Each structure stands twice: as structure tokens, then as C-alpha cells.
Amino acid sequence: MANALFLVSTGRTGTTWLEHLFAEAGANARHEPGPLLIRHVSHAYASGHLSDENASKLLVRWRGATLNASGRPYVEASTLVYGLARPILETFPDAHVVQVVRDPLTYLRSAMNWGQYRFGGRVKNVAPFRRLARPHFDPIYDVAGRVRWVATGQFGRLCWAWTKMNQVMREQGEGNDRFTVLAYESLFDAEKGHTTIGQLLELVNLEVSKEDSERIRGTRVNENKPGNFPRWQEWSSDQLAMVIDACGREARHYGYDIAARVLRDRPEVEAKLSALRKPSG
């Protein structure tokens, strides 16, 4: 039985709520603990700029003593360490990693209203690897690629980030029996939610009653900020085509057929999608 559980994701996937759930069940639960540099290390490793050895050394320094310090199962719910799924599994042989993935159509609305990947953002965003960015994966001298990324709006950046971050987690964990993918929506399913929560808790030998499970599932923690960004049904055809093009292939790995859902209700998006995918020149 694992003595540690890392719940990793793109963010906007209930990580604060999950920390609350495990804390109530008796775990030493934490939401996005530091240090500040762990965010940068995660992005650097995900994009191939940090070695396995150095990633492992930093994890031992920042998490090694904490995992068994309290005598209770350690649970970390965090987007900050999404890019360290493989080093976590290799460094801590009793740890389990769960990738929590959310439907991109609802993730994008939540992230837009939350303000993630805004153009420029806060001043801190100029620090290397504070955000995962497309140029991290391009040749360092690809100036044109960097210019295109800077010119990409918040919506386009989020489409790219949802796909790349989930791909990184999935590929790092594939083939490891201590790695699991969990749909965010399943946590709150009226019929299956309690079972899903029970399976998560079982990973670190914890449990809650059905009554407590229902009460906790009804608890609102770190809800979406009020915002004006609408539901996907109200997005423009260009936005919907962009989501399908950027996220559709990765989304199918998790059972989200966003193209079928969108085109069923908005058939006019097909023409936009074809134009978007048409080779230039």
C-alpha cells in the first residue's frame, strides 16, 4: 500500500477540494506546497531541460523528509508537480501518482475566468519556466516560434497548455502500475462519486463513510471566480475549431470526444476546422 499519493493536473481540477477530502479522512494532506522553485523545476523537466538525476535530487530535498514525518499518509494535490510524475514514481517507490484530467471544454471556461495564461500576466511570468510555454519545446534559436507564442491570445495558450500538460503526465506515467488517470467529472458523479472517492482513498489505506462522502462532495472549495466567459455552447466557431484542433486528439485518450459533441450542436464549425487544418501555401 502506498504511503504517499500525488494528485497532479493542469489545475482547475478540484485540487483544493481533494486536499480537503484527504485531510478529513486523516491524511497529512497539502495543496500545492512549496518551495516556489518547484513550479519552475516541474516545467523545466517536462520540457527536457532538467535531467532525471537532478529532478530526483530536488524531490528528495523538498519532499523526502515530509513523506513520513507525521506517521500519516502523505497526500499532495498540486498542479505544480505535474511535470515530475516520472521522477516522483522513480524516487519514491511507495508513492502513487494520479493524473486528474478535466474535459477541455469546461476546463477552458474555468481557466479563462480564473485568469490563467493571460497575455503577459504578472511580472513574475518573465522568470524562466514559471509557465509552461510552447517555445520550451522548440529549438532555442527559433525566434519566429517565440514571437508566435507571444502573439497567441490567452484562449489559444490555454488550449495548448491543456494538451501539452496532460500529454506530459500521461506519457511519463504510462506503463507504471502506480500511475492512474482519473476523470475530474467522476468525483462528483451522483451514482459513482462515492466509489471513485473510495478507490482514491484506498490507495493510501484510508476510507470515509458514504454519508461523509456525500457531504464532502457537496462542499464547495475554491470555486470558479465569477467571470464573463461563457459556456462552450456560446463560443465562436473559430474558438471551437481551435479547441478541437489543439485538444481533440489528446482528449480522446481520456474518453472525451469533443469533436463529436461540438459538431453535433454546431455543424458550421466543420468548415472553420477544415480551414484551420488546411496547409498554408
Query: Mind listing the pLDDT tens digit for each residue in 214-254?
Result: 787 777 665 555 678 999 999 999 999 999 999 999 999 99
Mean pLDDT score across all residues of the chain? 90
Residue 125: per-residue pLDDT: 59
**pLDDT above 90: percentage of residues in the chain:** 71
Residue 141: per-residue pLDDT: 67
**pLDDT above 70: percentage of residues in the chain:** 92
Whether pLDDT at 173 is above 80: yes
Hey, is 139 helix, strand or coil?
coil
- What value does the mean pLDDT take over residues 191-204? 93
Q: CB–CB of 119/154 below 8 Å?
A: yes
Whether pLDDT at 174 is above 80: yes
Residue 272: per-residue pLDDT: 95
User: Is it true that the peptide bond before 35 is cis, omega within 30 degrees of 0?
Assistant: yes
State the Cα–Cα distance between residues 158 and 180, nearest whole angstrom: 24
- Res. 274 pLDDT band, cuts 50 70 90: very high
pLDDT, tens digit, 9 for 90 and up, residues 204-214: 999 888 787 77
Q: Decide which of 170 and 191 is more confident.
A: 170
- What value does the mean pLDDT take over residues 158-178? 97
Q: Decide which of 252 and 192 is more confident.
A: 252
Q: Show Cβ contacts of residue 167 under 8 Å, excluding neighbours closer than 6 positions.
A: 250
- Res. 1 pLDDT band, cuts 50 70 90: very low
- Res. 159 pLDDT band, cuts 50 70 90: very high
pLDDT, tens digit, 9 for 90 and up, residues 30-54: 999 999 999 999 999 999 999 999 9
Q: Which amino acid is at 216?
A: I
Q: Which of 122-126, 162-166, 217-221, 277-281 has the lowest mean pLDDT?
A: 122-126
Residue 225: per-residue pLDDT: 57
pLDDT, tens digit, 9 for 90 and up, residues 105-148: 999 999 999 877 765 544 455 678 988 988 888 776 677 777 78
Nearest to 157 by CA among 247, 42, 41, 269: 247
Dihedral angle of Cα 103, 92, 19, 29, to the nearest 10 degrees: 180
State the Cα–Cα distance between residues 172 and 271, nearest whole angstrom: 35
What are the structural domains, with CATH classification, of the chain?
4-226 (3.40.50.300), 230-281 (no CATH)
State the Cα–Cα distance between residues 143 and 148, nearest whole angstrom: 9
